Amino acid sequence: MAGGFFGYRQWFINDFIESLEEAISDKKDSDLSPDTMINLNVGLRLLEITQVYMHRIDWYLSGDDGEEAFDKGLHDDLIKLSEE
């Protein structure tokens, strides 16, 4: 599947995800409050969900997926993400 509706910019979200994962890992032993760590992790999860949506929407709007494949793929990807 090719996609391209968003000019493949949705993949830049992966860079943000990886950077945030590293930052969270580096900060685990720091003096950050539990609330700040929770908020960083919530932000990470929201970015992961955003990446899934953008990827699936890209394929749908590019004509690579029809409605049924879009709905099923989105559902499957979100379930897979929830299991991580």
Encode pLDDT of 40-50 as tens digits: 999 999 999 99
Q: What is the pLDDT of residue 1?
A: 54
CA neighbours within 13 Å on the CB side: how many for 76?
8
Mean pLDDT to the nearest integer, 67-71: 97
**Joined tokens for residue 55:** 């990827």
Encode pLDDT of 10-32 as tens digits: 889 999 999 999 999 988 878 88
Q: pTM score, two decimals?
A: 0.88
Measured between alpha carbons, how far is residue 37 from residues 7, 44, 48 in Å? 33, 11, 17
Measured between alpha carbons, how far is residue 43 from residues 5, 38, 74 in Å? 25, 9, 20
d(CA 39, CA 26): 15
Angle formed by the axes of helices 67-82 and 34-61, nearest 10°? 160
